Amino acid sequence: MGGRMHRIPLYSILLLFVAQSALAEKLYDDRLIVKFAEGIGAESLSGSGYDLMFEERLDFIEAAVYRPITMADGLNPFSIALDLMAREDIAYAEPNYRYEIIEQGLAAGPNDPEYQKLYGLRQIKATEAWQRSVGSREVVVAVIDTGVDFDHEDLAGNIFENNGELGVDKDGKDRRFNKVDDDNNGFVDDWRGWDFQNQDNEPFDDHMHGTHCSGTIGAVGDNGKGVVGVNWEISILPIKFLDGNGGSLVDAIKSIEYATVMGVDVMSNSWGGGGFGLSMLEAITRAGEKGILFVAAAGNKANNNDTQAFYPATYKTANMISVAAGDDQEKLASFSNFGRTTVHVLAPGVNILSTVPGNLYKAVSGTSMATPHVSGFAALLKAIDPELSMHDLRNKILGSTRAVPAVEGKVLTNGMIDFGGALENDTSAPGKIDGFTVTGAGLDHLGLAFAPAGDDGPNGSATIYEVRGAEEAIADESAWAEASVLATLYHPVSKNGIIELLLRDLPLNTSLQLAVRAYDNVLNASPISKSLGATTSPLTVVSLDKLETPDSFIGEGLWVHTKALAYSGEYSWMAKGTKAAKLISKPIALPENYQRIYVNHRQRFGGATPSCLFYVSGPDGKWQRVAQPSTQTYGWVGATYDLTDFVKGQKSLSFMLYFSAYKDESTFWAIDDFGIFVK
């Protein structure tokens, strides 16, 4: 084979999959990712007690990697990142988190293809799909993992080959080995993927995890050997950034960039850990903008991801599918993470038999094993219908799940991926949606209700409902296509024949046109509902600060005025880390006559659950606790508090935002668009 010697480790080795609370275990090394407000940045960066040297560019997210050359005692990459984020010329800075394999362990039993049969393929009804297609080499799935044994008897025929690096060059040399970047993509001789751990073109699996995941996605079918994947034919692109010791945030971002450049259809990601990272979020988002689905393992700690985020699966992006693991009885695996809003589907993940290096086969458990079932599922749907957009592919996967009582309320769709639903022979569109009304209007939300649509005309039940909004009436298909998606419901439950929905976190004084339509499990669409005008409760603006300058607040401790995150404009205030910190506003003058007075702002949380408290000054000058914001949210959300009873008779007021976190240095609270309103 040439190149490095490939050593296969003992399969009895078990790997931890989550980053530990100890700082050394949270980080891969002491490098930092820095994004400047403009441009890539300087050759070096210095601060109190540290000096950093530029190491390399991350062009995909327009950032750079720096390595400390001096770092005083008491400093670490987290504290340096916080110091850098206070600078006006830096958008964000974060340490190089460690990510690890999400493997629960090996199943006992003989190494035999007949042992622990492939129940997972029966659960997802793969045979129904194979009557339509067994896959296509035109569909490419990037397995971002520990690499792949590309010589395995059951995988070799389905390994991606880069046409730009095949054939012979002008000198008659084999392009695979001519040490030339023939396709000008920045990687020399990457004819079957790339290894970011070792910086070469041999992404061979020196563990076994990536090979196992690959077999579930696309072990060659009907070849009389071993197992079969969800796809009998496919192109698996091996991308290695992990080994038995994990992998770095820097290399994970490079892997996502490489897969995006190579134009894959799906990225399969059976790994996780670290903390919330803006750079990772940006990379996944950019992949989505290129139409690439990002499938990620929910994690193996039996945690609720709604309350304890696990990355990358908990990032709220339009291309994300987060996967929980089930067993052969369709029960949630004892180890599997879950989450009613942040984990999307169930897939087989206990004692899954698949390929491992050396022409061997093993049964392994974990959400790592559930994830490739979904990645393979997405790839086969794409082979059957190559015109499916990423948005429609994701909707079809989530909208066609089969109800599983054991996960009701524990995953978004309440069910298991199911080819029977996704490929049903159904050309009848759902019926028209009746009774679409606004049931209530708050300061930053609207209540909506409508009657459920049938699946086939008036019969059955549609599985997906999408609400869109626009400034003008949504009266036809063109207007619908231009409108913004405000909410998507999968398998909603009606009460007394009505589906109710609350559109949250709308800007104050919002007026817009709304419409809703239903889709069935194969994405037949209902007629568009009537277009409905709606307005949040009107208020008068006393003050509205976009926080583009730091002048109106005084940040103590960890609070910094930064470009790292912003709801609008370029700047926000953010506290990040494990120490208590206060953000105090300068006095704000109040009008003399009003009935009610409110404060509204945008906020965003990340990492572990922080303790956040919101105070307002009282008539005696003492701080009064107004609220303890719920931190179990992802993305920017609105917060509105009625201050009337707190500030009676006052001519001015001030606010204090108190932040503290205890275990996770990546935990943060960001604030933007701070306003006072009266009625």
What pLDDT score does 397 carry?
98
Task: Quickly state the pLDDT bin for 9 (edges 50, 70, 90).
Answer: very low
602 and 506 belong to one structural domain:
no
230-287 confidence digits (pLDDT tens): 999 999 999 999 998 899 999 999 999 999 999 999 999 999 988 888 899 999 999 9
Residue ending a domain, among 80, 97, 114, is 97
> Which amino acids are annotated catalytic?
145, 209, 368
340 and 398 belong to one structural domain:
yes
Count other C-beta atoms under 10 Å from residue 293's C-beta.
27
> For residue 419, is pLDDT > 60?
yes
619: helix, coil or strand? coil
183 and 218 belong to one structural domain:
yes
| Residue 515, amino acid | A
Residue owning tokens 């005309």: 457
281: helix, coil or strand? helix
> For residue 632, is pLDDT > 50?
yes
Residue ending a domain, among 71, 97, 123, is 97
By CB neighbour count within 10 A (0-12 exposed, 13-18 middle, 19+ buried), where does 356 fall? Answer: buried
452 and 558 belong to one structural domain:
no
Q: Considering the domain boundaries, does residue 14 fall inside one?
A: no
Q: Considering the domain boundaries, does residue 121 fall inside one?
A: yes
Instruction: Please say whether the beta carbons of 206 and 146 come within 8 A.
Output: yes
Number of domains in the chain: 4
CATH number of the domain encompassing residue 455: 2.60.40.10
Q: Considering the domain boundaries, does residue 13 fall inside one?
A: no
> For residue 145, is pLDDT > 60?
yes
Contacts of 546 (CB under 8 A, 6+ apart): 568, 569, 571, 672, 673
What pLDDT score does 102 carry?
83
69-120 confidence digits (pLDDT tens): 999 988 889 889 988 888 888 888 999 999 998 876 655 433 335 435 799 9
Instruction: Please say whether the beta carbons of 78 and 65 come within 8 A.
Output: no
Q: How far is C-alpha 342 from the chain's CA centre?
A: 9
257 and 331 belong to one structural domain:
yes
Considering Cα of 455, then 457, then 460, then 465, what sign does the dihedral take?
positive
304 and 441 belong to one structural domain:
no
User: What does DSSP say about strands 50-58 and 63-71: parallel, antiparallel, or unpaired?
Assistant: antiparallel
637 and 531 belong to one structural domain:
no
Q: Considering the domain boundaries, does residue 644 fall inside one?
A: yes
Closest alpha carbon to 378 in 454, 542, 265 = 265
Query: In angstroms, rounded to a whole number, what is the distance separating the alpha carbons of residues 617 and 451?
Result: 46
503-512 confidence digits (pLDDT tens): 988 888 899 9
383 and 243 belong to one structural domain:
yes
Query: In angstroms, rounded to a whole number, what is the distance separating the alpha carbons of residues 546 and 633?
Result: 22
Instruction: Please say whether the beta carbons of 454 and 462 come within 8 A.
Output: yes
What pLDDT score does 618 carry?
85
305 and 450 belong to one structural domain:
no
Task: Quickly state the pLDDT bin for 582 (edges 50, 70, 90).
Answer: very high
> For residue 609, is pLDDT > 70?
no
What's the token pair of residue 61? Answer: 């997210």
Q: Considering the domain boundaries, does residue 17 fall inside one?
A: no
Query: In angstroms, rounded to a whole number, what is the distance separating the alpha carbons of residues 562 and 604?
Result: 14
Closest alpha carbon to 573 in 583, 505, 633 = 583
> For residue 663, is pLDDT > 90?
no
Q: Considering the domain boundaries, does residue 575 fall inside one?
A: yes
Q: Considering the domain boundaries, does residue 89 fall inside one?
A: yes
Task: Quickly state the pLDDT bin for 657 (edges 50, 70, 90).
Answer: very high
Contacts of 537 (CB under 8 A, 6+ apart): 441, 442, 443, 679
User: What does DSSP say about strands 320-326 and 293-297: parallel, antiparallel, or unpaired?
Assistant: parallel
Domain span at residue 526 reads 437-538
299 and 367 belong to one structural domain:
yes
What's the token pair of residue 10? Answer: 């003992």
Residue ending a domain, among 538, 564, 584, is 538
What pLDDT score does 481 carry?
96
59 and 82 belong to one structural domain:
yes
Q: Considering the domain boundaries, does residue 157 fall inside one?
A: yes
Number of H helices, E strands in the chain: 11, 39
